[in-house]
A = this chain, B = another copy of it.
Amino acid sequence: MRKIKHPTIEQLELTDIMYALADPTRLEIVALLANSGRKLTCGEINLNRPKSSMSHHFKILRSAGLVETLIEGTEHMNSLRFNEVEQKYPGVLNSVLKATKKL
């Protein structure tokens, strides 16, 4: 069973987080994960883009520490690392999520 590596809280870099959130597609993914209240597979997050593009964006969200991906069978279950990110940089993710609701 494969496992995907994620950064620890200590390794979270503010600029990586900002960079990851600066892209509209990724911001949408983050908002969907936040609002769904449950883990979502990549397939459930359908933004009408090819798989390889979505995979690219997930990779960036993961490496920024924003998204955690657990492999269950053939599916990859994605969730927002909300509490961890908030712990390191309080208010950043929360306020950005609130801001996305105005869009």
Contacts and interface: CB of A to CB of B under 8 A. Distances in A.
Count of chain copies: 2
B15 A18 contact: no
Interface size class on chain A is: 20 to 34
Given A21-B18, A27-B15, A99 B103 contact: no
A19 B94 CA distance: 17
Interface string A67-103: 0000000000000000000000111101110111011
A24 interface: yes
A27 to B, nearest CB: 7
B98 A14 contact: no
A99 B89 contact: yes
B24 A100 contact: no
